[in-house]
Structure 1
Amino acid sequence: MRRRFLSLAVACWLLQLACAVTLGAGRQLVLAPLIGDMAARAAGTLTLCLAIILLARRFVDRHRPSPAARLGVGVLWCALTLAFEFLAGHYLFGTSWEVLWADWNMAQGHLWPLVPAATLLAPLPAPPAPRAAAGRP
């Protein structure tokens, strides 16, 4: 990836990070007291995934990267997300490794794995829409 494009991709990821921090604060301060922690986490995760997808679409529409560059952006965003979650989560915010790993347990209702999946997949080209059958609009 070219340096400018890489800088723009990192800037877009920083916007995703800002969304995550803002949504996380809103979840803790407003939503969790109203609907409980697990429901608030689920709502926050799904909202963040939507924000990531919207930011990725805007980025792709604006910069028109090749399919290979889109894959590179997705891998970059996913790596940055995982690095931030684990390294900042543990060393900056003091979250235990056990708590960080517990967020990966979808069997217990944790939806966190959807976030790195969204960062990885959102920049990729969408599959083509199905074609209408002959004689149908």
Structure 2
Amino acid sequence: MIVLAVINGTARDLWYKNYTGELAARQISTITLLLLFAVYIWFLIKKYPPTTSEQAITIGTLWLILTLVFEFGMGYMSGKTWPQMLEDYNIVKGRLWVLIPIWVAFAPYLFFRILKE
């Protein structure tokens, strides 16, 4: 998922951010990453299905923790402050990034339930 996120962010910065502006580019980038993650997570859950709902929830919880550790760890290492890092999670200001960790946490269970039927 890290590779998908890096490719997605690179595409945003190199291709369309100059045309859309920062906020719209981040919104587009968030939506495209949600879609990329959906395909990737669907594939993983189909190929390596959890055996129980609890296992699917555990996978989502672990991915959530790893996502947040990576996100804030990289932000900290690059010298960002906590307010700067939390800015992307402010949905009131049009920042949609909070949907990424929510999706990463919820998608394994959702796809497990869909594929189980």
Question: TM-score by structure 2 length?
Answer: 0.89
- Cα offset for 1:96? 2.2
- Written as runs of structure 1 = structure 2, the 5 A alignment for 1:19-58 is 19-58=4-43
Distance in 1, matches of 2:65 and 2:19, equals: 33
For structure 1, which segment, 26-35 or 93-102, has the greater mean C-alpha deviation from structure 2 after superposition?
93-102
- Higher helix fraction (1 or 2): 2
Q: Runs of 4 or more off by more than 4 Å in structure 1?
A: none
Q: Does 1:97 align with 2:82?
A: yes
Q: Does 1:81 align with 2:59?
A: no
Distance in 1, matches of 2:49 and 2:86, equals: 36
- Cα offset for 1:38? 0.5
Q: Per-residue CA shift, 1:22-52, capped at 9, x if unaligned?
A: 1111111211101111110000001111111
Match of 2:95 among 102, 110, 122: 110
Select the structure of larger CA radius of gyration. 1
Q: Secondary structure at the match of 2:80?
A: coil
- Cα offset for 1:98? 1.3
Q: Secondary structure at the match of 2:108?
A: coil
Distance in 2, matches of 1:123 and 1:61, equals: 10
Aligned to 1:125: 110
How many equivalent pairs are there?
112
Which amino acid in 2 is paired with 1:72?
T
Aligned to 2:49: 64
